[in-house]
Structure 1
Amino acid sequence: MQRLKNKAAIVTGGGSGIGEATCLRLAEEGALVWVLDLNQQAVETVVAKIKDAGGQAQAAVCDIADNQKVKAVFDDILSQSSIEILVNSAGIAHVGNLEGTTEQDLDRLYQVNVKGVYNCMAAIVPAMKKQKQGAIVNLASIASSVGISDRFAYSMTKGAVLTMTYSVAKDYIHDGIRCNAIAPGRVHTPFVDNFIANNYPDNQAEMFAKLSQTQPIGRMGKPSEMAALIAYLCSDESAFITGVNFPIDGGFVTLNN
């Protein structure tokens, strides 16, 4: 399918995990993809994968927590191409309840997960307004709407991502800009593997199985499954959808009781 032909996208956190899968899928759908990440080597690797598969991609290295750097990078991209799509996939995690969350933890997660999303939307919305066209997809989480144990700071940031999504959808609906969110459950990414290896080095297989079973469907999600939903929300097939949060969680929110 070439649903995104003649469109260009910026994907933050595009160097790994869901962000990488999204870059690959959007390029497969015909989009020119700007792969944006803090890790230059990861960016270049993803760009090479896309080009080797016959797609179009460009590299962009940026710390999304830095407002001025985001503005400079986005302005540079916009000087080369119109941007019809923004996917805010970049984010960091933290494990801990209120007492296990330091002020530094809270500030660090806010800078990336909240301010980073703000910085990127603020940098692109004026251009989308001018062209009267834009699709923004933010990565929220099941933690945006239900209580998750030991995810105090992370849940705070993902709740903010969800409400920012609603606000942007409401404020710019007459400017041709759609803004939606997806709410993944547990997805099998390098973060999960590293978390298990670091915290349960002696029983990794057992912990992987246990974490998989927390999803009613009996397994973790795949990054490619997240990317498929994102691609739909970026395409004109979803032109009647805005201000919506899409659970993609193996039944976690509605069936885990």
Structure 2
Amino acid sequence: MSELIGKGAVVTGGGRGIGLACARLIAKRGGSVVLLGEDPEVLEQAAATLRAEGLNVTAIVADVGIEDEVAVAMEQSAAFLGSIDILVNNAAIQPYGTVASMGSAQWDNVIRVNLRGTYLACHHALPYMLRLQRGSIINIASVQALANQTRVAAYATSKAGMLALTRSLAVDFGPSGIRANAVCPGCIDAPMTRFAAAQTAPGREEEILREWGKAQPLGRIGRPEEVAEVVAFLASDRASFCTGAEFKVDGGLMASLGVTLPE
């Protein structure tokens, strides 16, 4: 498929996991992609891997929670891409804690990266989209924006905020030809999930992931590439009438009450 030929995309948190899968698929479908993140080594390794696959990508280092860095990164991205047509807000952190146990500095940092970072990326990418009167913004939220496990208060709050921000973007910028949608992954085999499994049972990560997979009606956890397929669709003109929406990629997790009746 070559439906994204001529499109320029910025993917935050693009060096690994869901972000890397999104960057790869967008580039495979003809787009040019900027991987944006704060770890130079991770970004360069990811960019080198994608370039070795014949894809047009570059890496730009920036902390999404620092406005000056984001502003410069978007300017550099536009110079490399020619235009910013697609913005995938994927950068996120997920420390564990309740409202009682998590200190305010750690709480603020989660909001800074996950929610403020999404705002800043949108704020500094939108002028390029408005100039051309087109664009697709895809915010990677989470099923935890809709229902919560324990000890994820800050993360869930930030992701719920992303859903509200997505709706506001859709309403405010739809008349300018800019669409905004959210994708809500469930349990995905990505670094964040593996970190959680390691914290739960060190040395038994694969067993834990299989156990977690049983919570989904499909009986397994998802792959980053499965999230990327939805993101690539939303980035394309095939999703031309989709905006302000939330797309779950969760193996049916949110469709189930989690209660099994006896036969």
Taking the aligned partners of 1:235 and 1:55, their CA distance within structure 2 comes to 18
How big is the shift at 1:249? 0.6
How big is the shift at 1:53? 1.4
Q: TM-score with structure 1 length normalisation?
A: 0.96
How big is the shift at 1:202? 5.1
How big is the shift at 1:214? 2.1
Alignment root-mean-square deviation, CA? 1.3
CA distance change for structure 1 residues 44 and 203 in 2, over 3 Å: closer, same or farther?
closer
Quote the residue 2:70 is aligned against: 70
Quote the residue 1:189 is aligned against: 190
Q: Deviations over 1:2-35 (max 9, x none)?
A: 1100111000000011001111111101100011
Taking the aligned partners of 2:207 and 2:128, their CA distance within structure 1 comes to 49
> Residue 172 of structure 1 aligns to a residue in which SS?
helix
Quote the residue 2:29 is aligned against: 29
Q: TM-score with structure 2 length normalisation?
A: 0.94
Quote the residue 1:108 is aligned against: 109
Quote the residue 2:51 is aligned against: 51
**Is 185-194 or 19-28 further displaced after alignment?**
185-194
The answer on whether the counterparts of 2:10 and 2:84 sit within 8 Å (CA) in structure 1 is yes
Taking the aligned partners of 2:62 and 2:130, their CA distance within structure 1 comes to 23
How big is the shift at 1:127? 1.4
How big is the shift at 1:94? 2.1
For structure 1, the 5+ residue unaligned runs are none
Quote the residue 1:7 is aligned against: 7
Quote the residue 2:219 is aligned against: 218
For 1:80-229, list aligned pairs within 5 A.
80=80, 81-201=82-202, 203-229=204-230
Instruction: Name the amino acid aligned to 1:196.
Output: A
How big is the shift at 1:97? 2.3
Taking the aligned partners of 1:256 and 1:27, their CA distance within structure 2 comes to 38
How many residue pairs get aligned? The number is: 257
> Residue 214 of structure 1 aligns to a residue in which SS?
coil
Taking the aligned partners of 1:69 and 1:150, their CA distance within structure 2 comes to 31
Taking the aligned partners of 2:244 and 2:192, their CA distance within structure 1 comes to 28
> Residue 161 of structure 2 aligns to a residue in which SS?
helix
How big is the shift at 1:76? 2.3
The answer on whether the counterparts of 1:216 and 1:256 sit within 8 Å (CA) in structure 2 is no
